[in-house]
Structure 1
Amino acid sequence: MDKAEFDSFADEYLSLHARNISASGEGPAYFAEYKIRDIAEEMTLRNQMPERMLDFGAGVGTSVPWVREYLPDAQLTCVDVSERSLEVAKDRFADMARFVHFDGRTLPFEQGDFDLAYAMCVFHHIDHAEHVDLLRELRRVLGPRGTLVIFEHNPYNPLTVRAVNTCEFDVNAKLITAPKMRQACRDAGFTQVRLRYRIFFPHALAALRPLEKYMTHVPLGAQYAVYATCA
């Protein structure tokens, strides 16, 4: 999906997303929250709480309030190719983050400007041939011990594939397997690249979700996360 397509969906993104994932029994906020909560828990375990965070492909800012809740001391910068999406995000969360447009190739930041960068289901909208170059660009703006976290849809999960195939703003999306995303991070120069699968149970089976922490190696979760470091 290019800039024009993102711009055209910006004003109705939240309602379209909510309708598309309704089969899970959850809304967009659930999926945004779990990702930021995961990041906060992981960085707490590492004793490396980030002070400067980058939301790569921030869209309409769905993750912003959750950063403020789980990582209240971090300075958050949101970047996106869609200027209209950033306008919507700024209208919603003007005092919670900085919103910056970028051209899709070069991030307008200096080397080492951030401790942590994350991308929430962004890379399946980007031509796979461009992944390594963009990952190198993310590596550039992270500090020497910076962490990159990529969440993506798992193409081995049939419900996820169905949701993507029926979603208006995923019409040009191409899902990426977790091993391929892990390898792309390594090719971009990241080290200690770790993979975990997430989201195994819909809302109707929410009582079973505490078991998910024991299932992160099972390649059937609806989504997956790749954690990569620069050191």
Structure 2
Amino acid sequence: MSFQDFALGTRAAVRPYHDAEDAAGRRVRQVLRITRDLRELFPGSSGILDIAAGGGEAVSWYRSLFPGVRLVCLEGPTAKPRPTVARFAAIAHFRRFDGAAIPYADASFDVITGYRGLSATPEDRRAVLLLEAYRVLKPGGLIVLFEPKGAGLAARTLTRTIRDVGFHDAMVRYDGPLPLLPIGADFHVVAFRP
């Protein structure tokens, strides 16, 4: 199956989300849906890096849907929600970082996800953060970035920046009833590292 065939089949349901836990669960289930059909790319899936982990709402979802996978959560220095140790204890490794330089070795992760990480990053540092994501992602790895519409980062701009960094097959999907149309509150970009 080609990436385009897979991406065109991806659908995001529209429903009201009442709190951050529900929204985090929706994002993680979307990552699961994306990676489920592409397991052959990640033999033994050794690690997921979640950039902009916030208050850790997605950690329990990641752990339940990806058991046995190393989960690392990064948060920038200016993040408002302060995660509690209980959210991460024994289920994920939490680390603060400077918002651009990812403190891990080259080719360390199979999947990188993020929610509002780029829109919260100053515009002049976004390309640097994406270059770092490219560096720590294994060849053939997948990056899935969720961003809110209207937060100062357009889907086309993000897709162009991701391609300029070196990722391939970048696709944008919206959370509305038709994933190819810019309807809904969020969008996500999926791309591969060659």
Quote the RMSD (CA, aligned, Å): 1.9
- Partner deviation per Cα, 1:155-199 (whole Å, 9 max, x = no partner): 2xxxxxxxxxxxxxxxxxx4211111111101111111111001x
Counterpart pick for 1:29 among 9, 21, 37: 21
Matched position secondary structure for 1:124: coil
Q: Distance in 1 between matches of 2:55 and 2:64?
A: 18
TM-score by length of 2: 0.84
* Superposition deviation, residue 221 in structure 1: 1.6
SS at match of 1:95: coil
Distance 2:121 2:164 in 1: 17
- In structure 2, what is the Cα distance between the partners aligned to 1:137 and 1:84? 19
2:166 aligns with: 189
Q: How far apart, in 1, do the equivalents of 2:77 and 2:85 lie?
A: 12
Q: Which residue of 1 aligns with 2:102?
A: 107
The Cα offsets for residues 24-76 of structure 1, whole Å up to 9 and x where unpaired, read as: 45111111011110111111111245330001111221110110121122110
Contact 1:59 1:89 in 2 (8 A): no
Partner in structure 1 of residue 33 of structure 2: 41
Cα distance in 2 for partners of 1:83, 1:142 equals: 24
- C-alpha distance in structure 1 between counterparts of 2:149 and 2:78, whole Å: 28
Match of 2:154 among 174, 177, 193: 177
Q: Matched residues in 2 for 1:127 and 1:148: separation? A: 20
- Out of 162, 185, 191, the residue aligned to residue 222 of structure 1 is 185
- Percent identical across equivalent pairs? 27
Q: What is the deviation of 1:93?
A: 2.7
* SS of residue paired to 2:191: strand
Q: Does 1:143 pair with 2:138? A: yes
How many residue pairs were aligned?
176
SS, match of residue 78 in structure 1: strand
The answer (yes or no) to whether the contact 1:86–1:100 under 8 Å persists in 2 is no
- 1:93-125 CA distances to partner (integer Å, 9 max, x unpaired)? 311101122122211110001001111122111
| Consecutive unaligned residues in structure 2, runs of 5 or more | 1-15
Which structure's CA Rg is the greater one?
A: 1
Contact 1:56 1:78 in 2 (8 A): yes
Indicate whether 1:53 and 2:32 are aligned: no
